[in-house]
Chains A and B, each alone.
Chain A
Amino acid sequence: MTRKQKRLSVILGALAFLGVATGLTFYALGQRTSFFYMPEDLQTAAVPAGQRIRLGGLVESGTVLRGQGTDVAFSVTDGTDSVKVVYAGILPDLFREEQGVVTEGAFREDGTFVADSVLAKHDENYMPKEVAEGLKAKGVWQEEQ
């Protein structure tokens, strides 16, 4: 091979490599990301059972039920609608009634949301950013201060 051919093959190899990486990235962006919904959004958006989403809102007061051992059930609300969530595991420290949560998981066939993670990550006002923005947009929650 001449030097020119060699250089060309190296460049082609690098391009092929970048092509594969790009393809993989776009595939992953399509498949491996999850959308964020508030309970009211679910009235209009059709989310099939089994598809991973993130569901956020406030923990509806009086709905937190502790079952056997580590099972917990509660409802997530945005003031308009509410969704029943079941979760097996330890709730985060900042989980409490009337406070914002983000749960991640999928709907069961019966319409119950099975969460495999519950986050109460928060800013200074104990409110996850997405939830705060969603609630502000609905006029349910105003910033304190």
Chain B
Amino acid sequence: MVELGHFALVLAFALSLVQSTIPIVGSQKNDARLMAVAGPVAVAVFTLIAASFLVLTWAYVVSDFSVRNVFENSHSMKPTLYKITGTWGNHEGSMLLWVLILSLFSALVAAFGRNLPATLKTNALAVQGWVASAFLLFILATSNPFTRLVPAPFEGQDLNPILQDIGLAIHPPLLYLGYVGFSVSFSFAVAALIEGRIDAAWARWVRPWTLAAWIFLTGGIAMGSYWAYYELGWGGFWFWDPVENASFMPWLAGTALLHSALVMEKRSALKIWTVLLAIMTFSLSLLGTFLVRSGVLTSVHAFATDPARGVFILVILSLFVGGSFALFAFRAPSLTAGGVFQPISREGSLVLNNLFLTTATATVLIGTLYPLLVEAVSGDKISVGAPFFNLTFGPLMIPLLALVPFGPLLAWKRGDLYAAAQRLAWALGGAILATLVVMIFVDRTMLFAALGIGLAVWLFLGAITDIALRSGFGNTSFSNMRRRFFGLPRSAHGAALAHLGLGVALLGIVATTAFQSEHIVALKPGETTDIAGRNLRFERLVPHQGPNYTEDQAVFTLISGNREIGSVSSAKRLYTARRMPTTEAGILTRGFSQLYVALGDPTPDGGIVVRIWWKPMVTMIWLGPLLMMIGGILSISDRRLRIGAPARRKAVLAPQPAE
């Protein structure tokens, strides 16, 4: 049975080679029959990889320990959900998920790309085939998840306890949907370069795919951040860990790509740059895969350290990055330049956005690769952490965020900065007011934090201004405004909501970083400690037996004034199979803020060391990305962006609201 999974994977590899070659020969020779191979083969490859993936999942569910991968990462006592998610909680399985999602995107292009020009679609599917072939070969040659063990062991070694969490069910699939989703923009870019022809319609086809990948990646990163926050027990939400950076870089580049594709679609300018960004974004995804999967980094994500794998992925990385950049260098000069524009214009502001975002990507890239470089050159081991990124990434983000509200208010081609500033005057007033309120009522010493909150409010009000003006605020009656509000294109709502989400996330980050209170104290049952103006009473320690672990739960009561307002329990857990302890943080949400309790070691006098945080506005850090995702979904559901919509619109000319 398990061998069927292996065979399906080998067959998928063979068909991927077909997908990589036959269609592109067809498009070169202009042979429609050969080109028609691409679609069905892409669907077949997806079906085969999905079958292979299901076989592995099945081996996990029934705890077939004769499969080495299952033996090393599962245990018969593990809850079923974690048996399923354990499929991708290891190197081999996660690579299989990677190609599964890649082939899913190919199949989706094949299924929904009916209105694409035939050659573009064919070539793009062929490029998808190259990537799939490379990674399938990688799996078959170095990371086969279907290797058997003889004789089969009776019990598995269990999954790393940190991964035994609902987070593993959501975070990697979302992240990969984002990461790998950028392969579609990449394939379209390479396909366009092969043809040597590119126009505004290209941007319209690519944007929904980029947007979909971006939505998933946003969700994946935010989910990963929340998971690390509650699971690791350190109370942090972002560590500038190289692996986090590996997913953050494609996000930054992908965000830039979304914005430049907008210029290309509307004004047919920035063509060459957009194609380059599409290539860079997926290159960064590949780089991320290399960093995480090669074991060159120390991280909870680095499952295995087999040098052969690292070298293999490095070869794939250099082939694709080098190849696509060479093709770009060769073809780019033949692409014609598009519309011209003044520096102060919508295009100008989007160029500025791209300048900031790509520079920020570069600083993150340098900070991530520098330690590897230094070690390779001099052998010294150094670490580049938060202090570096705060000094480089921070200063780049502040002006970018300050400029965000201006962009949507400037007209295409030539904008009026003065008029935009006038319209934003009230938002600036609100931001200054917020800064003053924080300075006066919260903390006088924290000027930067107050300014940060002012900046968040500025983003917030800027997004509202954008939507209000588009609805005709000040020019028309309220009922008319309401009608226009609902008649606005969904992408306008989406963009405003995403920018609003940025403000929300910033507010959460600044408030938590600057105003959280932390308290480490040794407590005995019945004792009370104070945290951020409230009291926390340690009630008792209760032993508890889980399916594959034992734990001591400490129960706390939060008291405000004389009223008990909530109970929270935190635990030290011991996973019996691996004898590995974990900290299960206790979290109590009050409004947007959270109380976070992590247990330490027992003290000699019968107490226990407890680390307590009060984290004001902390949930906004993840609500912001959620708003961005909703904004993205609104945008993608916009009729104008719907895949194939351009062709259909020729037939039915629906009245479009003015922008």
The interface of chain A, by Cβ under 8 A from chain B, is 6, 10, 14, 17-18, 21, 24-25, 27-29, 31-36, 54, 66, 69-70, 88-91, 93-94, 104, 121, 123, 128-130
Tell me the bound Cα distance from A35 to B380 in angstroms: 7
With a cutoff of 8 Å between Cβ atoms, the chain B residues found around residue A104 in the complex are 383
Q: Which residues of B contact A121 (CB under 8 A)?
A: 298-300
Q: Which of B374-420 contact A (CB under 8 A)?
A: 380-385, 387-388, 391-392, 395-396
Partner of B392, one of A24, A36, A94: A24
B355 touches A93 (CB 8 A): no
Given contacts A14-B355, A33-B382, A34-B383, contact A69 B388 (CB under 8 A): no
Mask: chain B, 326-353; 1 = CB below 8 Å from A; 0 = not: 0000000000000000110000000000
State the CA gap A128–B383 with chains docked (Å). 13
Query: In the complex, what residues of A have CB within 8 A of residue B342's CB?
Result: 6
Residues on B with C-beta less than 8 A from A66 are: 601, 603-604
Most buried by A among B370, B580, B601: B601
Asked if B233 is at the interface (CB within 8 A of a chain A CB), the reply is yes
Contact of A90 (CB < 8 Å), options: B387, B388, B520: B520
| B395/A32 in contact, CB under 8 A | no
Q: Which residues of A contact B370 (CB under 8 A)?
A: 29, 33
Check if B600 sits within 8 Å of A90, measured CB to CB: yes
CB-CB under 8 A for A123 and B305, given A28-B391, A34-B382: yes
Q: Evaluate contact between B388 and A29: CB separation under 8 angstroms.
A: yes
Most chain B beta carbons < 10 A, residue from A25, A27, A129: A25
- For window 598-619 of B, CB contacts with A under 8 Å fall at 598-601, 603-604, 609, 611
Does B141 touch A at the CB level, under 8 Å?
no
Whether A18 pairs with B583 at a CB distance below 8 angstroms is: no
Query: Could you list 14 examples of A-B contacts with CB < 8 Å?
Result: A10-B343, A17-B355, A21-B392, A25-B366, A28-B388, A32-B384, A33-B384, A34-B385, A35-B380, A36-B383, A88-B520, A93-B582, A94-B580, A94-B581
Taking CB as reference atom, which chain A residue is nearest B384?
A: A33
Q: Add 7 more A-B contacts to A28-B391, A70-B521, A93-B581 (CB < 8 A).
A: A28-B387, A29-B366, A29-B367, A121-B300, A129-B297, A129-B305, A130-B381
Q: Which residues of B contact A (CB under 8 A)?
A: 233, 297-300, 302, 305, 342-343, 355, 359, 362-363, 366-367, 370-371, 380-385, 387-388, 391-392, 395-396, 520-522, 572, 580-583, 598-601, 603-604, 609, 611
Q: Which residues of A contact B611 (CB under 8 A)?
A: 89-90
Q: How far is the CA of A39 from the CA of B593 in the complex (A)?
A: 42
With a cutoff of 8 Å between Cβ atoms, the chain A residues found around residue B581 in the complex are 93-94
Contact (Cβ within 8 A) B388 A35: no
Residues of A within 8 A of B299 (CB): 121
A121–B385 Cα distance when bound, in Å, is: 15
A89 to chain B, nearest CB (A): 6
| Complex alpha-carbon distance, A34 and B382, angstroms | 5
Q: Which residues of B contact A6 (CB under 8 A)?
A: 342-343
Q: Which residues of B contact A33 (CB under 8 A)?
A: 370-371, 382-385, 388
Residues from chain A with Cβ under 8 Å of B572 in the complex = 93
| A130-B298 contact, Cβ under 8 Å, with A10-B343, A21-B363, A93-B583 | yes
B366: which A residues are within 8 A, CB to CB?
25, 29
Taking a contact as CB atoms closer than 8 A, the residue among A34, A88, A90 that contacts B601 in the complex is A90
Is the pair A28, B298 in contact by a Cβ cutoff of 8 Å?
Answer: no
Q: How far is the CA of A75 from the CA of B547 in the complex (A)?
A: 37
The one of B383, B580, B599, B601 that contacts A54, using a Cβ cutoff of 8 Å:
B383
Q: How far is the CB of B172 from chain A (nearest CB, A)?
A: 18
The residue on A at minimum CB distance from B522 is: A69
- Alpha-carbon gap, A6 to B583, bound state (A): 59
Cβ-neighbour of A21 out of B387, B396, B521 (below 8 A): B396
- Please determine whether B381 and A36 come into contact, CB atoms closer than 8 angstroms: yes
A21 in contact with B359 given A70-B600, A90-B600, A123-B305 (CB within 8 Å): yes
Chain A: which residue is nearest B607 at the CB level? A69
Tell me how far the C-beta of B266 lies from the nearest C-beta in chain A, rounded to whole angstroms.
20
B306 vs chain A, min Cβ distance (A): 12
Given A93-B582, A130-B298, A35 and B381 contact (CB-CB distance below 8 Å): yes
Contact A93 B520 (CB under 8 A): no
Q: Which residues of A contact B343 (CB under 8 A)?
A: 6, 10
On whether the beta carbons of A70 and B520 are closer than 8 Å, the reply is yes
Q: A17 — which chain B residues lie within 8 A by C-beta?
A: 355, 359
Q: How far is the CA of A21 from the CA of B609 in the complex (A)?
A: 44
**Complex contact A32–B305 (CB within 8 A):** no
Kindly list chain B residues whose C-beta atoms are within 8 Å of the C-beta of A94: 580-581
In angstroms, Cα B351 to Cα A14, docked, is 10
B227 → A minimal CB distance (Å): 16
Task: A66 to B302: give the CA distance in the assembly, Å.
Answer: 32
Task: Give which listed residue, A27, A70, A129, contacts B609 with CB less than 8 A.
Answer: A70
Closest to B161 in A: A93
A7–chain B nearest beta-carbon distance, Å: 9
Q: Chain B CB within 10 Å — which of A21, A36, A93, A129 has the most?
A: A93
- Which listed residue, A24, A34, A54, A69, touches B391 by the CB 8 Å rule? A24
A44 and B396 CA atoms in complex are apart in Å by 39
Please judge, given known A-B contacts A21-B363, A90-B598, A93-B581, whether A32 and B521 are in contact too, CB under 8 Å: no
Asked whether A27 lies within 8 Å of B391 as measured between CB atoms, the reply is yes
| A93 engages B305 (CB within 8 Å) | no
State the CA gap A34–B384 with chains docked (Å): 7
Across the interface, which residues of A come within 8 angstroms of B363, CB to CB? 21, 25
Smallest beta-carbon distance A13→chain B, Å: 9
Closest 7 CB pairs of A and B: A90-B600, A36-B381, A129-B298, A32-B387, A28-B391, A32-B388, A93-B581
Q: Which of A21, A88, A91 has the most chain B CB atoms closer than 10 A to its own CB?
A: A21
Once A66-B603, A91-B600 are accepted as A-B contacts, the answer to whether A123 and B302 lie under 8 Å apart by CB is yes
Contacts of A36 in B (CB 8 A): 380-383
Q: Which residues of A contact B601 (CB under 8 A)?
A: 66, 90-91
Residues of chain A with a CB closer than 8 A to B383's CB: 33-34, 36, 54, 104
CA distance A102 to B128 in the complex (A): 42
Distance of A129 Cα from B243 Cα, bound (Å)? 15
B-chain residues with CB within 8 Å of residue A14 when the two chains form the complex: 355
Report the bound CA distance from A31 to B414 in whole Å.
43
Residues of A within 8 A of B395 (CB): 24
Chain A residue numbers with a CB within 8 Å of B391 are 24, 27-28, 31-32
Please give the distance in Å from B477's CB to the nearest CB on chain A.
Answer: 42
Complex-state Cα separation, A94 to B162, whole angstroms: 12
A90 vs B597: C-alpha distance in the bound complex, in angstroms? Answer: 12
- A88: chain B residues within 8 A (beta carbon): 520
What are the residues of chain A within 8 A of B367 when measuring CB–CB? 25, 29
**A50 to B: closest C-beta gap in Å:** 15
A26 to B166, CA, bound (A): 40
Are A93 and B302 touching (Cβ within 8 A)? no
Chain A, residue nearest B598 (CB): A90
- Measured CB to CB, the closest approach of chain A to B505, in angstroms, equals 23
Chain A residues positioned under 8 Å from B521 (CB to CB): 69-70
Chain B nearest CB, measured from A85 CB (Å) = 16
